[in-house]
Structure 1
Amino acid sequence: MEAPSAALIQGEFRLSHLQLKDETARLAHCFQEQGLRTVASLLDNGAAWVLLDRALAQAGLVHVPLPVFFTPQQMAHALMACGADALITAPALASQWPEAPASPLPVGRDALVLLRLAGRAVPMPAGTRKITFTSGTTGNPKGVCLSGEAMDRVAQGLVQALAPLDIRRHLCALPLAVLLENIAGVMAPLAHGAECVVSPLAELGLQGSSRFDPAVFHAAVLQHAPNSLILLPQMLRAWSGWLAATDQRAPTGLRMVAVGGAAVGARLIQDARSVGIPAYEGYGLSEGASVQTLNLPGADRPGSAGKALPHARLRVDAHGQIHVAGSLMSGYLGDQPFNSAPAHEWWATGDVGHLDAEGFLHVRGRLRHVLITAFGRNVSPEWVETALRSDPTVAQAVVFGEAQPALSAVIWPLRPDTSDTQLQAAVQTANASLPDYARIGHWVRASAEFSPATGMATPNGRPQRQAIQDHHANALALAADSDISRTTP
């Protein structure tokens, strides 16, 4: 139940708690009259996205949010896999489906288009209310089926954990189609009775999945004066670096800047706090309906992902794999039988790490990425990559070393004028913080940025490890030979 103070804001457009309730009910009735079943959306951030999401849930339909950074092929795969019988989008994007019957759909202040698709009903877990597609590291995204109850548990867990901060205004800085912002940035603040500010992503300096302008973002933060934000590590790095370079500080009204989606590291948290950003690392996954752990004021350990939130339980098995329980998905779309698990059962996340004596979770990386060196030592490359990215000269780094006597790295600098000498110093600094078996023996400068355009990242910005290794194989081999020549008597 939302408090009467809850409100949805986009520019000058504002919907009070009662107006939100009325508009949601109107849309839900409209969808029920049209006999819809599974509705996909392809929309920029805005009030219309939130209204649509709430109305579909109230109507008992399945919502399939498509990230705007998905490729046409990924969108086609997702629409076919979920059997969507409708797609709601902006008129400018509707032309991508010229054969689909279209009808106008006013939502809030926006004139959207509802396209009727020929999708057939597909099997999915009972009670599915949302299907979130994760692009991962493969071409076709995987659909995670979530119940309303699982998502509500996460939202209520966040409300409980963040209550002492009394967040009154949240600014959505990530795409709403990303589950983390959907639940932690909309559902939780509105449930707490806060104002939720939703602006088109370009107004926040975000383009696609990985282009970010910290100056534009800072101006938006000053304009909207939020108490809370959710950022990806690279956004936090760019913003804190820009503030330091321009001798500015974050607004004092910020109380919580949650950071997740990838490894963060203690150095980045400390750098952000030095310019006034109250940054706190968390951890979650789509299969657990988003966030599971979070550092908080008074329960904070930089370098960790925090303690379990009220809705979540954690354990780590003998192989170091993290398991979660409490708000699990209903299953993967298309699985027969479904990989469903009631809230009292556990889900093996595929991530490796450990819980310390005080219950803080330390995540090392993905189990499938763990490599074994020629000396038989297991190393999570994400652990080493986080150490490398902690240096302000390094934007991106990918580490290799399977069956090799020493680890190697491909590094992309934060600035094009960064010298190899500076990057070598960054490697030495990282090595000093790592045990000998996890240190970088040789490295090469990347030939291009790790991005979807270069083929070295997925559409959501995750590095394509094999593509990066293949692209730099000759350079890595030469670097290895040079390293051997320097160390051989």
Structure 2
Amino acid sequence: MREYSVPVLVDVPASANLTDTVFQRAEREPGTVCLRRKVGDDWVAVTAGEFRDQVAAVAKGLIAAGIEPGDRIALMSRTRYEWTVIDYAIWAAGAVSVPIYETSSADQVKWIVANSGAEAAFVELESHEETLREALAELPGFKHLWRIDDGALDGLSADGAEVPDETLTGRRTGRGIADLATIVYTSGTTGRPKGCALSHDNLLFTARNVAAGPLDQLFTVDGRAALLFLPLAHVFARMIQVVLVETGTVLAHTPNMKNVAPDLQGFRPTFLLGVPRMFEKVYNGAEQKAAGDGKGKIFHAAAATAIAWSRAQSAGGPGLGLKVKHALFDKLVYGKLRAATGGRLSAAVSGGSALGERLAHFFRGVGIEVFEGWGLTETSAPSAVNMPGANKIGTVGKPFPGVTIGIGDDGEVLVKGRHVFGGYWEDEKATAEVIDADGWFHTGDVGELDKDGYLRITGRKKEILVTAAGKNVAPAPMEDLIRAHPLISQAMVVGDDRPYVAALITLDPEALEQWKAANGRAGAGLADLSADPAILAEVQTAVDRANRSVSKAEQIKRFVVLDSDISEESGHLTPTLKVKRNIVMRDFAKHIDSLYN
């Protein structure tokens, strides 16, 4: 088995926990701005002292409400400032936070609350409260339900006013790295979500070693600021939040995942994290806007130059001619793209699935370098990540400090390190299936390590298709290439036990609006466009591009364009925009069968 390890940079003492930095920074530098929260149209500064005081007040309220060390408390909310206050308050009270996606159904909420044994919950909106109350109808042991938008934090702060500081200190310092910090439920792409039990050590060890190692330049330089908009219920955004708090990077939140542009303009971050679909939509949106303004040729030339310039950075540097073209397009195109993000953004981290080399080179050429990383909920988010000055595009980077990555005989990626979870909550059987006797966590991903220790993910074991002819096909790389087309929203490759490979494809409703205006189809609906010859020709170009990347036996022979999009709202995508393949296979079985008739 091939292995690659990176030594630990930062040790974490047994007495430490996730709240230490919040309270210690407030003692050392109470006036330092560490967060900003949006009030109306303004971004209001929150100092280290103010943040500590709010966390402490809510934590005292929890203690007054009878919350005991180790109790589980659910948190169902969009990404916002209060999410962070509540999370750290739960830890300061000695309890365990159980995040729930704010889009979850009553059945999903019921399962998470029941399985985790949560005795209390915070919700954000009235609709969230209704969902939770529906789920609680069959859970009589539940004690408290607080709604953020109904003044819950002020109420808890008032209730806890009589709790002595010494009591809070005892609760807070009574938890060490071995104690459970959170139960994060997987997004459920293949079945019922499993609760990943993550300790203070899992999160704190990861955050401090990531911050001190691969990505230190993103967090430790003066003036750094980050805007979070991905769901904090997902371990990816949650871990980045811990990193930001640990490093003192100014942190802000917005719930506007689908329309983040105004907050980018107002807050002007230097750093973002996102998922590949977000970067795809930024590129596609810019391309469509340029085409609509009659500047499509200029944009395509600028994009080609950005990609060429980035590729040259990895091969000795660009020549004089390319430098001149790049400088010209920086004034005409790239500067405008950077201005749309607030004008200060220079770096981003992408995770969740493959970004694709073309997009990564494009953004680096524009002046916004995207660093791909990789990991799972079970590994506290990252296990590998690219880094400034050593960004090998097309890979997900090297292991971060303290991590060992191995490749099994069957190509499966295996991981060891203090960031690996202790197991699935209340499920020893499932835990034993993924952590072997030698301590390796079996990720289920397939990949390879190059001679320098960079990891490349090539597929997912459970998603590898085996055609009737016995050909193994990894669908993800082809799906990424198809989805890069501006008119395409999602693509799912099929072909397991079938005579050939085929694909289900959906169209992007937002991108179609501009296409319809430019092509005289103003009144056409999605059902009409899914059978429109011009649209089918566009999709064919995307499929042809994907087919050129694989052998003939792996190529997509037929495809169908669905007359509706698949989305989180339709139940076909997770909150981090991963396709729930089993659900799509079930709901579109007739369409799949038609591809083989």
CA contact 2:413–2:444 (8 Å) conserved in 1: yes
The residue number in structure 1 matching 2:415 is 324
The residue number in structure 2 matching 1:18 is 49
Which of residues 63, 85, 88 in structure 2 aligns to 1:32? 63
Question: Which stretch shifts more, 460-469 or 146-155?
Answer: 460-469
CA contact 2:448–2:455 (8 Å) conserved in 1: yes
Question: Which stretch shifts more, 450-459 or 403-412?
Answer: 450-459
Pairing 1:147–2:216 present: no
CA contact 2:119–2:144 (8 Å) conserved in 1: no
- Quote the Cα distance in structure 1 between the aligned partners of 2:399 and 2:587: 40
Q: Deviations over 1:321-360 (max 9, x none)?
A: 1111211111101113683869993200011111122222
Task: Return closer, same or farther for 1:56/1:396 CA change in 2, 3 Å cut-off.
Answer: same
Distance apart, 1:13 and its partner CA: 3.8
The residue number in structure 2 matching 1:402 is 496
- Quote the Cα distance in structure 1 between the aligned partners of 2:569 and 2:60: 42
CA contact 1:406–1:440 (8 Å) conserved in 2: yes
Task: Return closer, same or farther for 1:164/1:466 CA change in 2, 3 Å cut-off.
Answer: closer
Distance apart, 1:32 and its partner CA: 2.7
Structure with a larger share of its residues in strand:
1
CA contact 1:397–1:409 (8 Å) conserved in 2: yes
CA contact 1:457–1:464 (8 Å) conserved in 2: yes
- Quote the Cα distance in structure 2 between the aligned partners of 1:455 and 1:90: 22
Task: Return closer, same or farther for 1:53/1:475 CA change in 2, 3 Å cut-off.
Answer: closer
Identity of aligned residues (%): 26
Which of residues 255, 262, 282 in structure 1 aligns to 2:346? 255
Equivalences, count: 458
Distance apart, 1:182 and its partner CA: 1.1
Q: Which structure exhibits the higher relative contact order, with contacts defined as CA atoms closer than 8 Å and separated by 6 or more residues?
A: 2
The residue number in structure 1 matching 2:209 is 157
- Show the 5 A alignment for 1:262-273: 262-273=353-364
Pairing 1:219–2:253 present: no
Question: Which stretch shifts more, 188-197 or 402-411?
Answer: 402-411
Which of residues 99, 122, 129 in structure 2 aligns to 1:88? 122
Distance apart, 1:132 and its partner CA: 0.6
Distance apart, 1:428 and its partner CA: 0.9
- Quote the Cα distance in structure 2 between the aligned partners of 1:136 and 1:9: 33
CA contact 1:103–1:113 (8 Å) conserved in 2: no
Structure with a larger share of its residues in helix:
2
SS at match of 2:394: coil
Pairing 1:336–2:389 present: no
- Quote the Cα distance in structure 2 between the aligned partners of 1:265 and 1:104: 42
CA contact 1:371–1:380 (8 Å) conserved in 2: yes
Which of residues 570, 577, 581 in structure 2 aligns to 1:465? 581
Task: Return closer, same or farther for 1:108/1:325 CA change in 2, 3 Å cut-off.
Answer: farther
CA contact 2:492–2:503 (8 Å) conserved in 1: yes
Distance apart, 1:145 and its partner CA: 0.6
CA contact 1:179–1:286 (8 Å) conserved in 2: yes
The residue number in structure 2 matching 1:119 is none
Task: Return closer, same or farther for 1:113/1:432 CA change in 2, 3 Å cut-off.
Answer: farther
Task: Return closer, same or farther for 1:110/1:299 CA change in 2, 3 Å cut-off.
Answer: farther
- Show the 5 A alignment for 1:274-353: 274-326=365-417, 327-336=419-428, 339=431, 345-353=439-447
Question: Which stretch shifts more, 446-455 or 65-74?
Answer: 446-455
Distance apart, 1:424 and its partner CA: 0.7
Question: Which stretch shifts more, 57-66 or 6-15?
Answer: 6-15
CA contact 1:325–1:343 (8 Å) conserved in 2: no
- Quote the Cα distance in structure 2 between the aligned partners of 1:6 and 1:329: 33
Question: Which stretch shifts more, 271-280 or 398-407?
Answer: 271-280
CA contact 1:105–1:112 (8 Å) conserved in 2: no
Pairing 1:174–2:230 present: yes
The residue number in structure 1 matching 2:181 is 129
Task: Return closer, same or farther for 1:321/1:29 CA change in 2, 3 Å cut-off.
Answer: same
Q: Deviations over 1:269-318 (max 9, x none)?
A: 23334544322221110000111222222211222212211242211101
Task: Return closer, same or farther for 1:432/1:342 CA change in 2, 3 Å cut-off.
Answer: closer
Please report the TM-score for the alignment, with normalisation by the length of structure 2: 0.70
Please report the TM-score for the alignment, with normalisation by the length of structure 1: 0.85
- Quote the Cα distance in structure 2 between the aligned partners of 1:34 and 1:456: 39
SS at match of 1:176: coil
- Quote the Cα distance in structure 2 between the aligned partners of 1:342 and 1:385: 32
CA contact 1:280–1:294 (8 Å) conserved in 2: yes
CA contact 1:104–1:112 (8 Å) conserved in 2: no
The residue number in structure 2 matching 1:387 is 481
Pairing 1:9–2:36 present: yes
SS at match of 2:431: coil
SS at match of 1:56: helix
The residue number in structure 2 matching 1:209 is none
- Show the 5 A alignment for 1:412-451: 412-414=506-508, 415-416=511-512, 417=515, 419-451=535-567
Aligned AA for 2:129? A
CA contact 1:48–1:109 (8 Å) conserved in 2: no
SS at match of 1:261: coil
- Quote the Cα distance in structure 2 between the aligned partners of 1:356 and 1:104: 50
CA contact 2:482–2:491 (8 Å) conserved in 1: yes
The residue number in structure 2 matching 1:232 is 275
CA contact 1:71–1:459 (8 Å) conserved in 2: no
The residue number in structure 2 matching 1:62 is 96
Which of residues 253, 272, 290 in structure 2 aligns to 1:198? 253
Q: Deviations over 1:229-284 (max 9, x none)?
A: 11111111112322344453124421321111122211222333454432222111
SS at match of 1:323: strand
SS at match of 1:434: coil
SS at match of 1:250: helix
**Structure 2 spans left out of the alignment, 5+ residues:** 1-20, 157-176, 291-335, 516-533
Distance apart, 1:79 and its partner CA: 0.5
**Structure 1 spans left out of the alignment, 5+ residues:** 115-124, 207-211, 482-489
Distance apart, 1:459 and its partner CA: 5.6
